[in-house]
Amino acid sequence: MNDTLSKSAARLLEATAANIDLAGRIIEKNLDSVLSGSSATRDEPYRGATTVEEIFRFDSMKLLRYSGTAPVTCTTPLVLVPSLINRAYIMDLMPSATLAGHLREAGIQVYLLDWGTPGPQHDHLPFRFFVDDLIGMAVREACRDTGAKKASLLGYCMGGTMSLLHAALHPNRIERLIMLAAPVNFHDEGPLSAWARKDAFDVDTLVDVLGHADSAMLQSSFQLIKPFSGYQKWKNVFEGSLDAKAAESIVALESWLNDNVNVPGEAYRGYVKLCYHDNAIRNRRFDFDGIEIDLENLSIPVMNVMASKDHIVPIESSRCLSQLVSGPVTDLVIDAGHIGVVMGRKARGMFESVAKFHSTV
Protein backbone atom coordinates (compact mmCIF):
# COMPACT_ATOMS: atom_id res chain seq x y z
CA MET A 1 0.00 0.00 0.00
CA ASN A 2 2.88 2.37 0.93
CA ASP A 3 4.46 1.62 -2.41
CA THR A 4 1.26 2.55 -4.27
CA LEU A 5 1.00 5.68 -2.21
CA SER A 6 4.54 6.82 -2.89
CA LYS A 7 4.10 6.07 -6.59
CA SER A 8 0.91 8.16 -6.67
CA ALA A 9 2.63 10.98 -4.79
CA ALA A 10 5.58 10.90 -7.21
CA ARG A 11 3.19 10.99 -10.16
CA LEU A 12 1.37 13.90 -8.60
CA LEU A 13 4.58 15.88 -8.06
CA GLU A 14 5.65 15.14 -11.60
CA ALA A 15 2.30 16.31 -12.94
CA THR A 16 2.45 19.44 -10.78
CA ALA A 17 5.88 20.35 -12.11
CA ALA A 18 4.73 19.81 -15.70
CA ASN A 19 1.64 21.92 -15.09
CA ILE A 20 3.55 24.81 -13.57
CA ASP A 21 5.85 24.72 -16.56
CA LEU A 22 2.94 24.71 -19.02
CA ALA A 23 1.11 27.44 -17.09
CA GLY A 24 4.24 29.60 -17.15
CA ARG A 25 4.59 29.24 -20.89
CA ILE A 26 0.93 30.06 -21.48
CA ILE A 27 1.00 33.09 -19.18
CA GLU A 28 4.05 34.35 -21.01
CA LYS A 29 2.14 34.16 -24.27
CA ASN A 30 -1.10 35.76 -23.20
CA LEU A 31 -1.93 36.85 -19.67
CA ASP A 32 -5.48 38.06 -20.26
CA SER A 33 -6.86 34.78 -21.55
CA VAL A 34 -5.57 32.93 -18.50
CA LEU A 35 -7.01 35.43 -16.05
CA SER A 36 -10.49 35.59 -17.62
CA GLY A 37 -11.28 32.03 -16.51
CA SER A 38 -13.67 29.46 -17.88
CA SER A 39 -17.44 29.71 -17.70
CA ALA A 40 -17.66 25.98 -16.99
CA THR A 41 -16.22 26.41 -13.50
CA ARG A 42 -18.95 28.82 -12.36
CA ASP A 43 -21.17 27.56 -9.59
CA GLU A 44 -24.83 26.90 -10.35
CA PRO A 45 -27.74 26.81 -7.92
CA TYR A 46 -29.79 23.62 -7.58
CA ARG A 47 -33.06 23.98 -9.51
CA GLY A 48 -35.09 21.14 -7.96
CA ALA A 49 -38.14 21.42 -5.68
CA THR A 50 -36.80 19.85 -2.47
CA THR A 51 -34.25 21.39 -0.12
CA VAL A 52 -30.82 19.87 -0.56
CA GLU A 53 -27.49 20.04 1.19
CA GLU A 54 -24.21 19.56 -0.65
CA ILE A 55 -22.20 16.95 1.22
CA PHE A 56 -19.46 16.27 -1.31
CA ARG A 57 -17.98 17.94 -4.31
CA PHE A 58 -15.46 16.86 -6.86
CA ASP A 59 -14.91 19.62 -9.41
CA SER A 60 -18.35 20.16 -10.98
CA MET A 61 -19.77 16.86 -9.68
CA LYS A 62 -21.78 17.23 -6.48
CA LEU A 63 -23.47 14.82 -4.11
CA LEU A 64 -26.61 16.39 -2.69
CA ARG A 65 -28.53 15.11 0.32
CA TYR A 66 -32.29 15.67 0.36
CA SER A 67 -33.91 17.11 3.47
CA GLY A 68 -37.36 15.98 4.54
CA THR A 69 -39.79 16.05 7.43
CA ALA A 70 -40.11 12.27 7.80
CA PRO A 71 -37.58 10.48 10.04
CA VAL A 72 -35.12 8.22 8.23
CA THR A 73 -36.21 4.65 8.86
CA CYS A 74 -34.16 2.84 6.22
CA THR A 75 -30.48 2.52 7.06
CA THR A 76 -29.27 1.97 3.49
CA PRO A 77 -28.73 5.21 1.55
CA LEU A 78 -30.12 5.54 -1.95
CA VAL A 79 -28.08 7.39 -4.56
CA LEU A 80 -29.94 8.73 -7.60
CA VAL A 81 -27.87 8.64 -10.79
CA PRO A 82 -29.21 10.79 -13.64
CA SER A 83 -28.17 10.75 -17.27
CA LEU A 84 -25.03 12.56 -18.42
CA ILE A 85 -27.03 14.12 -21.25
CA ASN A 86 -29.56 16.11 -19.20
CA ARG A 87 -29.69 17.97 -15.92
CA ALA A 88 -30.08 16.03 -12.70
CA TYR A 89 -33.04 17.94 -11.26
CA ILE A 90 -35.59 15.99 -13.35
CA MET A 91 -35.63 13.60 -10.36
CA ASP A 92 -37.01 16.50 -8.29
CA LEU A 93 -38.70 18.76 -10.83
CA MET A 94 -41.73 20.11 -8.95
CA PRO A 95 -43.22 19.67 -5.45
CA SER A 96 -46.10 17.72 -7.02
CA ALA A 97 -43.85 15.52 -9.15
CA THR A 98 -40.70 14.63 -7.28
CA LEU A 99 -39.32 11.13 -7.15
CA ALA A 100 -36.55 12.19 -4.78
CA GLY A 101 -38.93 14.03 -2.44
CA HIS A 102 -41.36 11.11 -2.39
CA LEU A 103 -38.64 8.60 -1.52
CA ARG A 104 -37.30 10.92 1.18
CA GLU A 105 -40.76 11.21 2.72
CA ALA A 106 -40.96 7.40 2.68
CA GLY A 107 -38.13 7.40 5.24
CA ILE A 108 -35.22 6.79 2.86
CA GLN A 109 -32.03 8.85 2.98
CA VAL A 110 -31.82 9.97 -0.62
CA TYR A 111 -28.80 11.50 -2.36
CA LEU A 112 -28.51 12.94 -5.84
CA LEU A 113 -25.39 12.64 -7.93
CA ASP A 114 -25.40 15.92 -9.85
CA TRP A 115 -22.88 15.69 -12.69
CA GLY A 116 -22.80 19.50 -12.97
CA THR A 117 -21.85 21.29 -16.15
CA PRO A 118 -19.00 19.57 -17.92
CA GLY A 119 -16.35 21.76 -19.51
CA PRO A 120 -13.39 21.10 -21.78
CA GLN A 121 -11.41 19.91 -18.74
CA HIS A 122 -13.65 16.81 -18.70
CA ASP A 123 -13.37 15.95 -22.38
CA HIS A 124 -10.46 13.55 -21.92
CA LEU A 125 -12.09 11.54 -19.14
CA PRO A 126 -13.06 8.04 -20.27
CA PHE A 127 -16.56 6.65 -19.80
CA ARG A 128 -15.18 4.39 -17.10
CA PHE A 129 -14.12 7.39 -15.02
CA PHE A 130 -17.77 8.46 -14.73
CA VAL A 131 -19.05 4.92 -14.16
CA ASP A 132 -16.34 3.70 -11.84
CA ASP A 133 -14.72 6.70 -10.13
CA LEU A 134 -17.43 9.35 -9.91
CA ILE A 135 -20.32 7.01 -9.03
CA GLY A 136 -17.85 5.28 -6.69
CA MET A 137 -17.13 8.59 -4.92
CA ALA A 138 -20.88 9.24 -4.55
CA VAL A 139 -21.49 5.78 -3.09
CA ARG A 140 -18.51 6.14 -0.75
CA GLU A 141 -19.66 9.54 0.53
CA ALA A 142 -23.29 8.44 0.93
CA CYS A 143 -22.09 5.45 3.00
CA ARG A 144 -19.79 7.68 5.03
CA ASP A 145 -22.64 10.13 5.67
CA THR A 146 -25.06 7.47 6.89
CA GLY A 147 -22.57 5.05 8.42
CA ALA A 148 -23.84 2.25 6.17
CA LYS A 149 -21.57 -0.31 4.53
CA LYS A 150 -23.46 -0.42 1.22
CA ALA A 151 -25.67 1.89 -0.77
CA SER A 152 -28.39 1.31 -3.33
CA LEU A 153 -28.38 2.93 -6.76
CA LEU A 154 -31.34 4.29 -8.72
CA GLY A 155 -30.38 5.18 -12.28
CA TYR A 156 -32.55 6.96 -14.81
CA CYS A 157 -32.08 6.49 -18.56
CA MET A 158 -28.33 6.54 -19.36
CA GLY A 159 -27.74 6.82 -15.59
CA GLY A 160 -29.45 3.43 -15.22
CA THR A 161 -27.05 1.81 -17.68
CA MET A 162 -24.15 3.47 -15.84
CA SER A 163 -25.49 2.24 -12.48
CA LEU A 164 -25.75 -1.30 -13.87
CA LEU A 165 -22.12 -1.14 -15.01
CA HIS A 166 -21.02 0.25 -11.63
CA ALA A 167 -22.90 -2.49 -9.78
CA ALA A 168 -21.27 -5.08 -12.06
CA LEU A 169 -17.82 -3.60 -11.29
CA HIS A 170 -18.42 -3.36 -7.53
CA PRO A 171 -21.19 -5.80 -6.53
CA ASN A 172 -19.96 -5.83 -2.92
CA ARG A 173 -20.62 -2.09 -2.48
CA ILE A 174 -24.17 -2.05 -3.83
CA GLU A 175 -27.18 -3.31 -1.88
CA ARG A 176 -29.92 -2.97 -4.51
CA LEU A 177 -30.24 -1.58 -8.00
CA ILE A 178 -33.24 0.25 -9.45
CA MET A 179 -33.30 1.09 -13.15
CA LEU A 180 -35.78 3.58 -14.59
CA ALA A 181 -36.26 3.52 -18.36
CA ALA A 182 -32.65 2.40 -18.75
CA PRO A 183 -31.49 0.81 -22.01
CA VAL A 184 -29.69 -2.53 -21.89
CA ASN A 185 -30.17 -3.84 -25.43
CA PHE A 186 -29.17 -0.98 -27.72
CA HIS A 187 -30.02 -2.71 -30.99
CA ASP A 188 -33.77 -2.25 -30.77
CA GLU A 189 -36.49 -0.97 -33.10
CA GLY A 190 -36.15 2.66 -32.02
CA PRO A 191 -34.77 5.46 -34.25
CA LEU A 192 -31.81 6.17 -31.92
CA SER A 193 -30.59 2.63 -32.50
CA ALA A 194 -30.82 3.10 -36.30
CA TRP A 195 -29.04 6.45 -36.22
CA ALA A 196 -26.21 5.51 -33.87
CA ARG A 197 -25.16 2.17 -35.33
CA LYS A 198 -21.61 1.65 -36.49
CA ASP A 199 -22.09 2.20 -40.24
CA ALA A 200 -24.27 5.29 -39.79
CA PHE A 201 -22.51 7.22 -37.07
CA ASP A 202 -18.79 7.99 -37.01
CA VAL A 203 -18.38 8.93 -33.36
CA ASP A 204 -14.57 9.11 -33.71
CA THR A 205 -14.67 11.99 -36.20
CA LEU A 206 -17.26 13.81 -34.11
CA VAL A 207 -15.22 13.63 -30.90
CA ASP A 208 -11.90 14.27 -32.66
CA VAL A 209 -13.25 17.45 -34.24
CA LEU A 210 -15.51 18.89 -31.54
CA GLY A 211 -13.93 17.40 -28.43
CA HIS A 212 -17.37 16.77 -26.97
CA ALA A 213 -20.91 15.83 -28.01
CA ASP A 214 -22.62 19.16 -28.33
CA SER A 215 -25.85 19.68 -26.42
CA ALA A 216 -27.57 21.35 -29.40
CA MET A 217 -26.77 18.32 -31.54
CA LEU A 218 -28.10 15.88 -28.95
CA GLN A 219 -31.20 17.97 -28.32
CA SER A 220 -32.06 18.22 -32.02
CA SER A 221 -31.62 14.47 -32.47
CA PHE A 222 -34.07 13.84 -29.62
CA GLN A 223 -36.54 16.20 -31.28
CA LEU A 224 -36.10 14.40 -34.60
CA ILE A 225 -37.14 11.06 -33.09
CA LYS A 226 -40.70 12.35 -33.35
CA PRO A 227 -40.41 15.25 -35.79
CA PHE A 228 -44.04 16.36 -35.57
CA SER A 229 -44.39 16.09 -31.80
CA GLY A 230 -43.27 19.69 -31.15
CA TYR A 231 -46.08 21.05 -33.32
CA GLN A 232 -48.63 18.72 -31.76
CA LYS A 233 -47.51 19.55 -28.23
CA TRP A 234 -47.85 23.33 -28.65
CA LYS A 235 -51.11 22.96 -30.59
CA ASN A 236 -52.55 21.02 -27.65
CA VAL A 237 -51.32 23.70 -25.26
CA PHE A 238 -52.91 26.42 -27.42
CA GLU A 239 -56.23 24.64 -27.86
CA GLY A 240 -56.60 23.16 -24.39
CA SER A 241 -57.90 25.32 -21.57
CA LEU A 242 -54.84 25.29 -19.39
CA ASP A 243 -55.27 25.61 -15.66
CA ALA A 244 -52.51 27.15 -13.57
CA LYS A 245 -51.16 23.76 -12.44
CA ALA A 246 -50.88 22.37 -15.96
CA ALA A 247 -49.22 25.57 -17.16
CA GLU A 248 -46.71 25.41 -14.30
CA SER A 249 -45.96 21.80 -15.13
CA ILE A 250 -45.40 22.59 -18.82
CA VAL A 251 -43.11 25.52 -18.04
CA ALA A 252 -41.06 23.41 -15.58
CA LEU A 253 -40.78 20.51 -18.01
CA GLU A 254 -39.93 22.65 -21.03
CA SER A 255 -37.30 24.53 -19.01
CA TRP A 256 -35.68 21.23 -18.11
CA LEU A 257 -35.93 19.88 -21.66
CA ASN A 258 -34.11 22.92 -23.02
CA ASP A 259 -31.52 23.08 -20.24
CA ASN A 260 -28.99 20.74 -21.84
CA VAL A 261 -25.34 20.06 -21.26
CA ASN A 262 -22.52 18.90 -23.50
CA VAL A 263 -21.32 15.36 -22.97
CA PRO A 264 -17.55 15.04 -22.42
CA GLY A 265 -15.91 13.70 -25.59
CA GLU A 266 -14.07 10.56 -24.55
CA ALA A 267 -16.93 9.48 -22.29
CA TYR A 268 -19.35 9.92 -25.18
CA ARG A 269 -17.07 7.96 -27.51
CA GLY A 270 -16.78 5.15 -24.96
CA TYR A 271 -20.52 5.05 -24.34
CA VAL A 272 -21.50 5.03 -28.02
CA LYS A 273 -18.95 2.35 -28.90
CA LEU A 274 -19.74 0.11 -25.93
CA CYS A 275 -23.48 0.42 -26.18
CA TYR A 276 -24.68 1.53 -29.63
CA HIS A 277 -21.91 0.11 -31.81
CA ASP A 278 -21.03 -3.14 -30.03
CA ASN A 279 -24.22 -3.58 -27.97
CA ALA A 280 -21.83 -5.17 -25.48
CA ILE A 281 -24.08 -5.27 -22.41
CA ARG A 282 -26.55 -7.51 -24.26
CA ASN A 283 -23.77 -10.10 -24.61
CA ARG A 284 -23.62 -10.47 -20.81
CA ARG A 285 -19.84 -10.97 -20.87
CA PHE A 286 -17.89 -8.04 -22.22
CA ASP A 287 -14.77 -5.96 -21.93
CA PHE A 288 -15.31 -2.59 -20.30
CA ASP A 289 -12.23 -0.43 -20.76
CA GLY A 290 -9.90 -3.34 -20.03
CA ILE A 291 -12.01 -4.99 -17.32
CA GLU A 292 -13.86 -8.23 -17.99
CA ILE A 293 -17.44 -7.94 -16.83
CA ASP A 294 -19.77 -10.89 -16.47
CA LEU A 295 -23.27 -9.75 -15.59
CA GLU A 296 -24.05 -13.23 -14.35
CA ASN A 297 -21.98 -12.40 -11.26
CA LEU A 298 -24.45 -9.67 -10.40
CA SER A 299 -26.68 -11.33 -7.82
CA ILE A 300 -28.13 -8.31 -6.02
CA PRO A 301 -31.90 -7.68 -6.27
CA VAL A 302 -32.77 -5.45 -9.20
CA MET A 303 -35.94 -3.52 -9.99
CA ASN A 304 -36.40 -2.70 -13.67
CA VAL A 305 -39.01 0.00 -14.35
CA MET A 306 -40.08 0.38 -17.98
CA ALA A 307 -42.47 2.82 -19.64
CA SER A 308 -44.90 1.42 -22.20
CA LYS A 309 -44.98 4.64 -24.29
CA ASP A 310 -41.25 5.26 -24.18
CA HIS A 311 -40.04 6.26 -27.66
CA ILE A 312 -36.44 6.83 -26.57
CA VAL A 313 -35.90 3.57 -24.67
CA PRO A 314 -38.43 1.05 -26.00
CA ILE A 315 -39.52 -1.68 -23.59
CA GLU A 316 -37.61 -4.35 -25.58
CA SER A 317 -34.47 -2.40 -24.89
CA SER A 318 -34.71 -2.92 -21.10
CA ARG A 319 -36.77 -6.08 -20.69
CA CYS A 320 -33.88 -8.47 -21.42
CA LEU A 321 -32.11 -7.44 -18.19
CA SER A 322 -33.71 -10.34 -16.28
CA GLN A 323 -32.01 -12.79 -18.68
CA LEU A 324 -28.58 -11.25 -18.11
CA VAL A 325 -28.13 -10.98 -14.33
CA SER A 326 -28.33 -13.86 -11.89
CA GLY A 327 -30.08 -11.98 -9.07
CA PRO A 328 -33.85 -11.58 -8.75
CA VAL A 329 -35.25 -8.96 -11.14
CA THR A 330 -38.61 -7.29 -10.50
CA ASP A 331 -40.01 -5.97 -13.78
CA LEU A 332 -42.49 -3.13 -13.58
CA VAL A 333 -44.18 -1.64 -16.65
CA ILE A 334 -46.05 1.62 -16.23
CA ASP A 335 -48.28 3.46 -18.67
CA ALA A 336 -46.08 6.51 -19.31
CA GLY A 337 -43.51 7.98 -21.65
CA HIS A 338 -39.77 8.39 -21.16
CA ILE A 339 -40.06 11.52 -19.02
CA GLY A 340 -43.43 10.64 -17.51
CA VAL A 341 -41.79 7.62 -15.89
CA VAL A 342 -39.84 9.88 -13.56
CA MET A 343 -42.23 12.79 -13.03
CA GLY A 344 -45.66 12.01 -14.50
CA ARG A 345 -48.99 11.54 -12.76
CA LYS A 346 -49.02 7.86 -13.66
CA ALA A 347 -45.62 7.33 -12.05
CA ARG A 348 -46.84 7.96 -8.47
CA GLY A 349 -47.78 4.31 -7.92
CA MET A 350 -44.33 3.35 -9.14
CA PHE A 351 -42.72 5.71 -6.57
CA GLU A 352 -44.43 3.61 -3.84
CA SER A 353 -43.17 0.35 -5.38
CA VAL A 354 -39.62 1.72 -5.58
CA ALA A 355 -39.75 2.88 -1.94
CA LYS A 356 -41.05 -0.54 -0.84
CA PHE A 357 -38.44 -2.39 -2.92
CA HIS A 358 -35.61 -0.31 -1.46
CA SER A 359 -36.88 -0.44 2.13
CA THR A 360 -37.13 -4.23 2.27
CA VAL A 361 -33.34 -4.45 2.61
| Residues that bind another protein in the complex, under the rule CB under 8 A | 1, 4-5, 8-9, 11-12, 15-16, 18-19, 22-23, 26, 29-30, 33-34, 38, 58-59, 119-125, 129, 133, 137, 140, 191, 194-195, 200-202, 205-206, 209-211, 224-229, 231-232, 235
In 141-296, where do the E strands start and end? 151-156, 174-180, 212-213, 263-264, 285-288, 291-294
Strand pairing of 92-94 and 97-98? antiparallel
Tell me how far, at minimum, the Cβ of 10 lies from another protein, in Å. Answer: 11
Q: How many angstroms separate the CA atoms of 119 and 219, rounded?
A: 18
Nearer to another protein, 29 or 244 (CB): 29
Tell me how far, at minimum, the Cβ of 108 lies from another protein, in Å. Answer: 26
Packing angle of the helix pair 158-169, 135-146 (nearest 10 deg): 70
Tell me how far, at minimum, the Cβ of 22 lies from another protein, in Å. Answer: 6
Which of 51, 103, 114 minimizes the C-alpha distance to 77? Answer: 103
Tell me how far, at minimum, the Cβ of 257 lies from another protein, in Å. Answer: 18
Nearer to another protein, 202 or 248 (CB): 202
The residues that bridge with 111 in the sheet, in sequence order, are 65, 79
Q: How many angstroms separate the CA atoms of 230 and 99, rounded?
A: 26
Tell me how far, at minimum, the Cβ of 15 lies from another protein, in Å. Answer: 5
Nearer to another protein, 50 or 317 (CB): 317
Nearer to another protein, 73 or 232 (CB): 232
Using CA atoms, how far residue 332 sits from 127, 188, 316, 322, in Å, is 28, 19, 13, 12
Tell me how far, at minimum, the Cβ of 329 lies from another protein, in Å. Answer: 29
Which of 213, 199, 226 minimizes the C-alpha distance to 310? Answer: 226
SS3 content of the chain, % helix, strand, coil (to 5): 50, 20, 30
Tell me how far, at minimum, the Cβ of 298 lies from another protein, in Å. Answer: 24
Nearer to another protein, 30 or 69 (CB): 30
Nearer to another protein, 201 or 260 (CB): 201
Nearer to another protein, 9 or 291 (CB): 9
Which of 144, 150, 181, 178 minimizes the C-alpha distance to 164? Answer: 178
